[in-house]
Structure 1
């Protein structure tokens, strides 16, 4: 799976960074596109990155501040103009339904597809199917704000048909028994153990995408042992007091959470407009002094999980 950042600025866009939004591309995993946050101009950023609104499957919002929200009306209504529409699920803190209904009504807009809105008020599992589970936990910000833990379930062992053929084993009516892990006796007397002809279990990936927050236990829980952690780093370490006052984290805060959670990799985003891309090295080096495997996201950067 690939994670592409469409916007990485905090509060307001800059000439170098759009506001918060990122896409998790799960098409290879037989899903669609999952959008996390939707700041203004998100649909333009999607076009530039060559992602289709028609492929959107789920939109997750961390909270309802404008820099994470104001692109949503355009995304939803433009999607209505497309062919081959599919249902869309929107997961966000309570209040999102009122926001969408109000915008649709006063702008005389409409939606031509099924929109399933799930409003969050407390920690819960917000999505689960045979392949993925997504858990949400309340973080610590100035307004209700959630982080998401995306868990790809382990792929169970499968029968290795090629190996069976190589050993001249015609399983025939024994196929289902072998799939269940049983030991069978073939017509020619050979005893076949299913475990000898199974592929290895493929461990699923885990990632955490956190919204705006000061350091808290929920962040550590969501990020525990993940392959990739996305954490805001609004300010440099010297501005820690300012960050905390406004409900945000610093570079060192993000790195400390990654270390405490035993995450494998940290990507920092939600960077204050006070910083240009020329400041990236300074910000990354601050974080790396605590957690070595740290990177900073820029608009359109893609990370493979």
Structure 2
């Protein structure tokens, strides 16, 4: 599984950071999904190995501008590329009339169909070929959601001992069995693939949360998730000064929750523009230091165009963009 961050600032962009957007795909796949689409996302995509022609689904966590104002332009650009494949957009209820109003006001006509789905209608709906997707409501000034992506299928190894014991000769048929397909042997026997496959590993799960001042709302969805991507807009000190009005989280709050939920890897993002690179109380390093006091697992402070690869055993590493 791969994650590519296209924006990691909150509210407004900085010289180093665009606003929220992150791409997700199965390792090496052409098709991909996008979670949030701030203004400027298209510019980041110009430096990414992703094509709008292969975008399958857009997930919007909530309707604050730093998470969705780039969506109309992205839809228009895909049309100008002569995209014809349907595109699904998942998000809160007001998203569809917002997009339709913009399209009508600007006379935007797309050469491909766009459909909309509410987060609460995700269960049982096949929105991506490689993942099952869930949504969990969060606590913010507008309805906000976290999206959980779990592998729909995992590779399984052949039970070689049983194959040999049952006299199934080594041949290309073994490859068919490993793909889960039943086969007929030269002697006429019909082989059920399921009988000759060892149990697979645990499917990997990545949870990408929207703005949220109560990480504990993710207790079920993020429990033992391989990766949690969550906003850490402030340090705890600044959060207490700002007060509860903005309804954001501190690095400390998220880190404490991630430890309790046994999250495998924690990626913090959506940093207030007041936090710059370097050292000091108003630096991204200060956010990282605070988080490390509560979370002992692998911790990453997302940067724009960071490319992460999640290995089969749940190890997360930065890769090449």
SS at match of 2:18: coil
Deviation (angstroms), 1:276: 0.9
Question: Is the CA contact (8 Å cut-off) linking 2:140 and 2:248 kept in structure 1?
Answer: yes
Change (3 A) 1:106 1:84: closer
Q: Which whole-Å CA distance do the structure 2 matches of 1:137 and 1:65 have between them?
A: 18
Deviations 1:174-213 (A, max 9, x none): 66434241xxxxxxxxxxxx4xxx3451332101100000
User: How many matched pairs?
Assistant: 288
Q: 1:72: which partner in 2?
A: 71
Query: 1:275-290 alignment to 2 at 5 Å?
Result: 275-278=275-278, 279-290=283-294
Uncovered stretches (5+) of structure 2, i.e. residues with no partner: 170-184, 311-321
Query: 1:102-117 alignment to 2 at 5 Å?
Result: 102-117=101-116
Q: Which whole-Å CA distance do the structure 2 matches of 1:163 and 1:77 have between them?
A: 55
129-138 or 97-106: which moved more?
A: 129-138
Change (3 A) 1:103 1:16: same
Q: Which whole-Å CA distance do the structure 2 matches of 1:199 and 1:95 have between them?
A: 46
TM-score w.r.t. the length of structure 1 is 0.86
Q: 1:244: which partner in 2?
A: 244
Q: 1:219: which partner in 2?
A: 218
TM-score w.r.t. the length of structure 2 is 0.82
- Tell me, yes or no, if structure 1 residue 302 matches structure 2 residue 300: no
SS at match of 1:19: coil
Deviations 1:256-293 (A, max 9, x none): 12112110010000000001122222211110110022
CA RMSD of aligned residues (A): 2.5
Q: 1:254: which partner in 2?
A: 254
Q: 1:125: which partner in 2?
A: 123
Query: 1:45-64 alignment to 2 at 5 Å?
Result: 45-64=44-63
Change (3 A) 1:222 1:168: closer
- Tell me, yes or no, if structure 1 residue 231 matches structure 2 residue 236: no
Q: Which whole-Å CA distance do the structure 2 matches of 1:265 and 1:160 have between them?
A: 32
Question: Is the CA contact (8 Å cut-off) linking 1:267 and 1:294 kept in structure 2?
Answer: yes
Uncovered stretches (5+) of structure 1, i.e. residues with no partner: 182-193
Deviation (angstroms), 1:167: 10
249-258 or 161-170: which moved more?
A: 161-170
Query: 1:192-203 alignment to 2 at 5 Å?
Result: 194=196, 198-203=197-202
